[in-house]
Amino acid sequence: MANADLVSKRNSDTPFSEEEVAYVAPHPLAIILRRLAGRVVAIVTTLLGLLFLTFSMGRLLPADPVLAITGPEVSKEVYDRVYNELGLGQPILVQFLSYVGRVATGDLGTSATTGQPILTDLLAIFPATIELAVIAMIVGALVGVPLGITAAVRRGTVIDHVARIVALAGHSIPIFWTGLMALFVFYAKLQLVGASGRVDVFYEGLVTPITGFLLIDSALERQWDVFQSALGHIILPGAILGYYSVAYISRMSRSFMLEQLSQEYIVTARAKGLGRRMVVWRHAFRNIRVQLLTIMALTFGGLLEGAVLIETVFGWPGLGQYLTRGLQMNDMNVVMGAVLTIGAVFLTINILSDVLYRILDPRTR
């Protein structure tokens, strides 16, 4: 029996049944614990599904993990010994459970390319990808949201048409082509930005990695020449990657704002004589910020995927280049570790966005 039904009966002359009299509303702590348990079960289930997908990918792709370690010129005796050491002769279920156990302890295997543990490689290179994605996300949010909202407010004007062309081009033009053209113009011709890598060769190794983010570490150590070089190298790939997030964010911002501007409360606010800026930013924008938060979270996760091509074009030493090299060398431990990392980041972003969703929108609590 729902609480609302009991309240309605209490306010009427209808007598309570024995079941209704014995009903006790659940304690708020019990409700919180039940929701928390459901959330934990959902997270664990998602992680197991992600592990199963990466494990299946490592077994189904036409790449021999034994040859990736030993090389193609290997005797049958050595091949069989490595094959058994990797546990490839065991049943698939046993292999999967062993894989889950290793991942749970932080063991993602060893890279046949670098000879180091995958986790060590990821801890060294992943901050470079996060740094690039953060720059791109800042560009996407600062440009995409105002552009989309302005296009919605001035629907049918030149600004609206420009915003729609920007979104269309961002979804249509291949990102690697844009990267190559940008390198040709801004580096080869104008010499305004750096070339490949995170920093000039002369400055490599001068900054002690504290956070892993070169811009932050160089600023903390007051190595401003390194900071300037790092900024010159990241600005172009970050801007190009950010442009593709601008295309998506502006299109969604325009759609959300158009929906809100057609609501009755907006018509009422305008009838009361409120200015356009107050109507748009104080009333309409407050009702779309939760939706925008979800879009930005998904966009940030998508930037990690788009960084694969951008890092390849710009020689950026991040997760994308690491994954590409692993694919080229048939190093399945690298591929599985990189894919698992991207999936874990997606899961973390979704959890954080859900928490922020509940904070910003009291109706969801």
Domain that holds residue 327: 122-364
Assessment of whether the complete model's pTM goes beyond 0.85: no
Q: What is the pLDDT of residue 68?
A: 66
Task: Confirm whether 101 is domain-assigned.
Answer: no
Three-state DSSP class for residue 132: helix
More confident position, 257 or 275: 257
Mean residue pLDDT across the chain: 79
CATH code for position 167? 1.10.3720.10
Task: Confirm whether 327 is domain-assigned.
Answer: yes
Q: Which helix (H) or strand (E) holds 234?
A: helix 224-261
Task: Confirm whether 347 is domain-assigned.
Answer: yes
For residues 113-120, give the mean pLDDT: 84
204-231 confidence digits (pLDDT tens): 878 888 888 888 888 888 888 989 888 8
Task: Confirm whether 351 is domain-assigned.
Answer: yes
- Whether 232 contacts 190, CB under 8 Å: no
Task: Confirm whether 294 is domain-assigned.
Answer: yes
Provide the domain count of the chain.
1
Three-state DSSP class for residue 106: coil
CA distances to 95, 137, 202, 325, 336 from 66, in Å: 15, 40, 39, 17, 15
Task: Confirm whether 215 is domain-assigned.
Answer: yes
149-188 confidence digits (pLDDT tens): 888 888 888 888 888 888 888 878 888 888 888 888 888 8
Task: Confirm whether 94 is domain-assigned.
Answer: no
Please determine, for residue 7, whether its predicted confidence score (pLDDT) is greater than 50: no
30-80 confidence digits (pLDDT tens): 766 777 777 777 777 877 887 888 777 777 766 667 776 666 777 777 777
Task: Confirm whether 256 is domain-assigned.
Answer: yes
